[in-house]
Structure 1
């Protein structure tokens, strides 16, 4: 037996998200179909988490278990030959038998991209939220500090969220200016459904003068979803990286 981890990159625009759904194709479906064809039988893939419809990834991590391992290059090139152009395996690694893409993760990095320009760009808008009004970025930076630390994020979860607890730890929220883009880099221990998109929407409302600077603290303390909050569009969100303990990224000597 061997545990194989894959690092995936994908454009989520054409998919209903990571997980199987009845209303369209999922990333999971395409990856499992490609692996099953390569391996000659069904393969179950476990992911580091779910992504919603339209969300992208540069570093989604998944794992699967095989009884008879192929050369690692086969999982890279063989799977990519069977995947559509908007999904790719970027890296393959044999990992520890105890490794689990979801439960072994110790942190994640999401990037949300906002395209700030008066005129839309067909090449930019697929991977960013086109926002035409000016934003006070310094005010947004000040408000973002209130997210840092361990808090109850009940006010920042979407409907249908099945998490057993809404307590999460945010390690950093950074605003990076990049030409006409502003990227919000959010790193933390884990995230609730729609949590990053709601965080971004709240910060944008503050930057646009639609909310008070103190609203982040107020929402965190109240723990109730505010119906006036803005949920940032899915297309601007990208899972950049998932973090694991180094020792789990190496196979056991007996494997």
Structure 2
């Protein structure tokens, strides 16, 4: 896709549909619908139900936590009514609050599942490293006034790349059946005052990225040495871990699927980093059992065999 693709106004879309979503998570309890607080899922379902004139239930590629943002969240739903591409996108956006927006919609096969078909998920944790607190960016970056040694942070982070037990980086209330995850890459780069922790893996544990970011901040400040993350990983004990970094700096920027689904490509966010020019799908996904299983396989097989 380009930045100015026009939406089709005539061809009806029904059946299973995938959507690309962006949101500012500041005012929400997270993606997942809850009865006692505003959620991204609740707002989307309400808006899409109005467009369809019938109840709609959505499923997401990942459940972001309270206060976490997304520039490329992918959802799917089974449409109870037929609307054009423009009708779904414009109709949803007309009924959504200003901090949530739909980028695109596409018909997908019935075996597509936004979570179970995902091959990789990518996040960026964005810090602004300067003496004075940010003003215009305050809702979507974490401020660090201490000078950060980004080269040391990057070298320390490489201990986490690969398939590992991330028990030291999972929240105490994490419900995942296994602490094992496959980290595809983890980079720490500076762009002027911005320091970006760029991380991609098959999936992530509850608070895992924010806990990694907290440990890397300690290394960058000089409070911990370069081998801290490697030792922490080996301990497999969250109680020995570091602080959890604030949610406001975390952005869900990409989710990857088999090319056969032909989902739209988009520039990776957040907006502060668009000048880097990277689009979704440009990085190779390391081979693994899970990737081999999910590429082009029916969802039933994925549900029965994937980890």
TM-score band, normalised by shorter chain? over 0.9
3-state secondary structure, aligned to 2:83 = coil
3-state secondary structure, aligned to 1:57 = strand
How far apart, in 1, do the equivalents of 2:43 and 2:254 lie? 21
3-state secondary structure, aligned to 2:63 = coil
| Conserved? CA contact 1:115–1:129, under 8 Å | yes
How far apart, in 2, do the equivalents of 1:224 and 1:6 lie? 38
Of 89, 93, 114, 1:101 maps to: 114
User: Structure 1: any 5+ residue segments left out of the alignment?
Assistant: 251-255
Query: Shift of the alpha carbon at 1:233?
Result: 0.3
Of 105, 121, 124, 2:134 maps to: 121
Question: Are 1:185 and 2:198 counterparts?
Answer: yes
The C-alpha deviation readout for 1:107-142, integer Å capped at 9, x for no partner, is 011000001010112112211110001111111011
How far apart, in 1, do the equivalents of 2:217 and 2:187 lie? 14
In the alignment, which residue of structure 1 is the partner of 2:147? 134
**Matches of residues 106-255 of structure 1 in structure 2 within 5 Å?**
106-227=119-240, 229-249=242-262
How far apart, in 2, do the equivalents of 1:179 and 1:162 lie? 38
3-state secondary structure, aligned to 2:205 = coil
3-state secondary structure, aligned to 2:126 = strand
How far apart, in 2, do the equivalents of 1:53 and 1:7 lie? 20
Count of residue correspondences: 250
Question: Are 1:9 and 2:22 counterparts?
Answer: yes
How far apart, in 1, do the equivalents of 2:60 and 2:159 lie? 30
3-state secondary structure, aligned to 2:199 = strand
How far apart, in 2, do the equivalents of 1:174 and 1:69 lie? 43
Q: TM-score, normalization: structure 2?
A: 0.79
The C-alpha deviation readout for 1:6-45, integer Å capped at 9, x for no partner, is 1100000011100122442000000000011111111010
In the alignment, which residue of structure 1 is the partner of 2:72? 59
Distance 1:125 1:67, change over 3 A: closer
3-state secondary structure, aligned to 1:3 = strand
User: Structure 2: any 5+ residue segments left out of the alignment?
Assistant: 1-13, 264-307
3-state secondary structure, aligned to 1:17 = coil
3-state secondary structure, aligned to 2:118 = coil
| Conserved? CA contact 2:169–2:241, under 8 Å | no
List, as ranges, runs of 4+ consecutive aligned residues in structure 1 with deviation greater than 3 Å: none
Query: Shift of the alpha carbon at 1:227?
Result: 4.8
How far apart, in 2, do the equivalents of 1:237 and 1:167 lie? 21
3-state secondary structure, aligned to 1:199 = helix
Q: TM-score, normalization: structure 1?
A: 0.94
CA-based RMSD: 1.3
| Conserved? CA contact 1:197–1:237, under 8 Å | yes
